[in-house]
Structure 1
Amino acid sequence: MRTLILSAIAIASFSSISHAATFGVTPQVGLAGAGATVQWGFNEYLALSAGYTGLDRSISDVKTDDATYDADISIKNPQLFVNWAPFGGHFRMSFGVVAQNSKVDLVGRDFDPASGVSSATVKAEFAQSIAPAFTLGWETPLDKVGFGYHFSIGAMYAGKPEVDANIQCTITCVGLEQDEERKIEDELSKYKVLPILQAGVLYRL
């Protein structure tokens, strides 16, 4: 994967925008929020794209066995992809990396009285800052100028989350912070591989 990205950067270094077959801009929306991508098309088969998507969202009433949590989710994802259209048409495959910055802040309430917990805040983030990614997509052929469409579906490897819990108790809290961190880590570890779904309208010169 690293060799692939370095090769793409090398291609871009020797091919200025003025010499590229096309240059495009794609506003897009998807599971990771809204953003935009710029694309350098070298020919009908190969292009390099760089972009950004972001999302800030609050979710209330996330229930567990012992409490209810309110969550603030922040996603900021710069990304770089090599786009390959093996048949020179609408279908393409993209290989790349996402410099993910994904965080989740949780605030607990309505605790089970038997737990002895009075308040809890949990901060979680994914430690895999550079996430390898792969998508399949359909878009207007790389050598076509004017307005077109873009659609991608795939996944990226986010890695194991890092969790920090701060818990206050009505009685002793010995071991409770570690237990809560473990529970949240176990839950978020189900999402080491995150889906990618993006769609947008593109314009190429």
Structure 2
Amino acid sequence: MKLIKLTAISAAVLASTAALAADPVIVVDNNDAVVYEAEPVAVAYQAEPAYAYNSDAGIVRNTTGAVVGGTKTFFQTAVNPASVSAEVGTLGYGANIGWSLNEKTELQAGWAGGDAAELFGGDFDANDVNYDVDTDFSNPYLGVQLRPTGNWFTMGAGIIVPDNEITATANAKDAGDNGYYPVDGARYFVGTPDPDQVDLTRGDITEVGGVQADLEHRNKLAPYLTIGFRPNITNNFGVFGELGAAYLGKTTATVNANGANGALAEDQIKKELEDENYLEWMPIVKLGATYRF
């Protein structure tokens, strides 16, 4: 009889609601009391997310229900750069801002300019005429820095938007009024020399005066390539150096010879300056320091 009662009671307990089953059930049979502890019958399931973002690989493994997974939006990335740098070199004095896409790739936007003529010599020769150079550079640029081996070695590429003012002043040979510029086998005299110095048959010209030329490169966008090094000194500070070149293109010269017969010499001097193609390939040499956030 006791076995039958216990069986019936167990069945009743299993058929009870989850709320009642959560509390102990006490059954009294004559003088015996039996306590039954009910097991919970509800099981909670946690839904898997629609996608899982792999922060190490930087990819979305399952794009179901998501277009992009990540912790930073494009706007957050743009207003939170990875680094700022100061630089000096043949492009001038300047600075740039970098945004890291991953541990091997960084976008850069920068500017370099000022009077940088002395950094690459300050003068040049065009067909035996020596010219002193003054510059006022403005070189905004946009590029990418790669660390192909994941260490300090870097490779760079990008575009410069050059707006460089270059003024070349001719240096006459000899001194005083007898100074001259040797141009295409002829002598273009600054002033009026002794008649026995002038040979009209070879095209000598007197009273040319001082010669000055403004040079402008024809490329409005100049591609560049560099290689370099960027070691970190501390967690935040590093240094860098780069070597390379930018293709600025051929030059256009505007020549002014201010003497009485200067106009006779300007076209030939212009041709020789443009044939020289001064800084057609602009050398890039730069050093700098970087602060990383």
Identity of aligned residues (%): 27
- Measure the CA separation in 2 of the matches of 1:76 and 1:20: 25
Displacement of 1:83 in angstroms is: 1.4
Displacement of 1:72 in angstroms is: 1.8
Displacement of 1:191 in angstroms is: 2.7
The question of whether the paired residues in 1 share the 8 Å contact of 2:142 and 2:159 is answered with: yes
Displacement of 1:167 in angstroms is: 2.2
Match of 2:257 among 154, 159, 167: 167
User: Judging changes above 3 Å, is the alpha-carbon distance between structure 1 residues 124 and 81 closer, same or farther for their aligned structure 2 residues?
Assistant: same
SS of equivalent to 1:179: helix
The question of whether the paired residues in 2 share the 8 Å contact of 1:22 and 1:145 is answered with: no
- Measure the CA separation in 1 of the matches of 2:93 and 2:75: 28
Displacement of 1:27 in angstroms is: 0.7
Residues paired across the two proteins, number: 188
- Which residue number corresponds to residue 94 of structure 1? 156
- Measure the CA separation in 1 of the matches of 2:116 and 2:78: 41
- Measure the CA separation in 2 of the matches of 1:91 and 1:62: 33
Larger Rg: 2
Task: Say whether residues 1:34 and 2:125 are aligned partners.
Answer: no
SS of equivalent to 1:118: coil
- Which residue number corresponds to residue 268 of structure 2? 179
Gaps of 5+ in 1: 1-13
User: Judging changes above 3 Å, is the alpha-carbon distance between structure 1 residues 161 and 25 closer, same or farther for their aligned structure 2 residues?
Assistant: same
Displacement of 1:61 in angstroms is: 8.1
Structure in which a larger fraction of residues adopt strand? 1
- Which residue number corresponds to residue 6 of structure 1? none
Task: Say whether residues 1:52 and 2:119 are aligned partners.
Answer: no
User: Judging changes above 3 Å, is the alpha-carbon distance between structure 1 residues 171 and 75 closer, same or farther for their aligned structure 2 residues?
Assistant: closer
- Which residue number corresponds to residue 10 of structure 1? none
Displacement of 1:67 in angstroms is: 6.3
User: Judging changes above 3 Å, is the alpha-carbon distance between structure 1 residues 148 and 73 closer, same or farther for their aligned structure 2 residues?
Assistant: same
In angstroms, what is the RMSD of aligned CA positions? 2.9
TM-score normalised per structure 2? 0.56
TM-score normalised per structure 1? 0.78
The question of whether the paired residues in 1 share the 8 Å contact of 2:77 and 2:99 is answered with: no
Task: Say whether residues 1:85 and 2:147 are aligned partners.
Answer: yes
Displacement of 1:41 in angstroms is: 0.9
